[in-house]
Structure 1
Amino acid sequence: MKTLKMVALCTMLVAYAQAGKIITYTATSQESQEEANNAAIAGVAKQISAQVKVNQTLNKEEITSGKESSFSESFLSNSKVSSDIQVKGVVVKKEPAAKGFKATATLDLDEFTADIQFKMKSIQLDVTKLEETARDALNKGRFDSAIEAIEKAKPLPAQYNVLVNELGKVYPINESHRLKHDLQGIKSDIVRELSKLKFEGPSQPLQLSKPEISPLEVTVSNEKEFIEGFTLVAKQGRTVLDERRTQKDGTARFNIKNIDIDKGPFVIVIEPNLPEDYLTASGLRKKIEIDFKVSQTRCNINVQCKEDATICSALEKGLAKKSIFIDSDVKSPILKLNISTSAGKPIEYVPGKFTTPYDVNLSLKGDNITFLTSGHENGKREMDATIAVIKKINFTPLKKQLDDYCK
């Protein structure tokens, strides 16, 4: 009596090796040569990627007759190579088979990973070159160039590590694949050399009558020599007023203008124009602080004001805030006041009560002196809006024009 046993096994017919960075996989199929080829490719792909999906089933029939039995095999392959790694460089070879179809797929890992390894080598070359640039610049005292090279190289190790991780999925990694660099060491050298610098500038508070300092000299040196080409910035608060490089004598000569002598802060800070972390680590944050005091100069003018006395008085008070005083001295420059206004549509701000928007234009003109300004205010009357505009006028530009008449 013959007994028929059907066994369905989810397995693979495989013979593979990974010797010498070569992967091979042999598969057979009763269906077709194409299916055998696909199975072989899938087998190679599965060895280099855990996300390859294949569907292969081996159906084995065992026929028993008494004490003797025979086997009949059919290999059903429906291999779909689906991987997050593109399998390229795979060579498929048709193999002789007693039954069905047979194929061997071979993958050279060096060829498969050539792009990744090329990118890794390129990054290594870039890092090495930038390190050489940084060290050369540091030896010449060009701290800004040295820091620029290190900062440019800073993101490269992270990019390299991503490539190493990708390569490690399919390729044996050893010490030769690690990025060779000393970026942190060079940065430490830069910080150490920065900390040795000495800065010399004005040691006494300055007296200013104008919103400018010219010249202001600061010298940079170390224990051996003056430092040439060192970039310094002059700041007032967060505002950068001027930037200069030191010359051969190690001195930077500033021509500082537009200092805020009204609101301050009443200190000028001179510091290297370098990244914040380098300044903090080397102790160069706010290296030189120069206090200043403002001694207002007095300017006298003769204003021809034909407006209402209230408007003339508001103008006089506004000018006095900038130490510009009205007198009748014949030696004082004569300025003619002109005010023009235009009214907009009244606005009802509460039921039954209205205010009118006004555009106000004001000018003070005399020989070689022209001061123009404008403003917008609301008021019940034109005079109210005009006075409101005058109270907000900044007369600093006028005072600059009056320098020849100020004491």
Structure 2
Amino acid sequence: MNKFDNPRPEEWPEILKRPTQTLEDIKETVNQVFTEVKAKGNKAVSKYTELFDGISLDNIRVSKTEVNAAEEKISDELKQAIHLAKINIEKFHAAQKTEKIEVETSSGVNCWQEKRAIQKVGLYIPGGSAPLFSTILMLAVPANIAGCDEIVLCTPPDVKGNVHPAILYTAGLCGVTKIFKIGGIQAIAALTFGTENVPKVYKIFGPGNQFVTVAKQLATGHNVAIDMPAGPSELLVYADDSANAAFVASDLLSQAEHGVDSQVILVSNSKELIASVEAELENQLKVLPRKSIAEKAIAHSRLIFIDNQEDALKLINEYGPEHFIICAENEDFYTSGIQNAGSVFIGNYTPESAGDYASGTNHTLPTNGYAKQYSGVNLDSFMKSMTFQKISENGIREIGPAIEFMAEAEGLHAHKNAVSLRLKELKTK
């Protein structure tokens, strides 16, 4: 990992750069796939599934028989773990429900806000080296609580044309309505345009590689919303001498193993702790099955010594991490002062893995600095806020003249007339 000793603020932008790649070649490929899927539907999906996933499929939809069979292929222990996580995620997201908000803004002018579910949502679940069945819990559970009518899931098949049984089991458990064996760009395109088999959706959720990320961004140009812009996974830990160096190293590695373009950062006011964490990283890396991936991620990650906690907090807010762990005696300073983070984990016994799986919070979070503008996925991500208003005769008398003056000042005379006609009619009563 690269080390920095009390870097000056003007050096921070360079130090905090994400390991992103150029997207020009990716955009060209994504555009090509989108164009073909829009024009040729299933035929194009099959073509790119064979090209990218190495499998030709007669039927891309997962059958109920396949979903039912998946239950027998995973252990009881894993089923119990998935159920526990589901219960906690349901509790946390159900608590986010809000009641109708109603206000009389002026006498006779009643305004209120209600929420409605997004009717059709698409979930993209990666299924490569790490089949992320946990992400189904994070997306399908709140979608069901929100009341979405159609929950469509796309995930890539393996070279035998199968989907990982844990993905199928979790999807069945969480009420996913349709499952398709489609991965990558072609999955996002199918959800965007719809095909003979795949329904067009109104909003797409879920993580993916850079091709999926660019595809989701392209989807927004075709009247489809997405959960958020996303990039490689990332973690920043602030730790002082009260932290357990082995725990800190394990947290850094838990994110580093996601992918070679993941980034992890340790900020500390203790050079001794930094040295201990460095030694732990070396020891723990030796036994990781995904060692080669984690090593590459660690190579472009950061160890930053800052002796001033005010400067440390400014640097953390400037970075805006997806995940932020605080292991410090003065934890309140950081919990109250953090402005830009996707999700915050506090204390030596709160690993980031807890949020990834079973504590109840959502792990679909803004990356690449987007925590400065975006929230992570939550219940409202699957809902729309709609406003209503009802104005009585007295109410239009109350606010009508103000509307007339404002409309006339903007030169919108039809707007003014819509009020003037009503006021004129009321004068005759």
- TM over 0.5, shorter chain: no
Structure whose residues are more often strand by fraction: 1
Which has the bigger relative contact order, CA under 8 A and spacing at least 6? 2
Using the size of structure 1 for normalisation, the TM-score is 0.17
Using the size of structure 2 for normalisation, the TM-score is 0.17
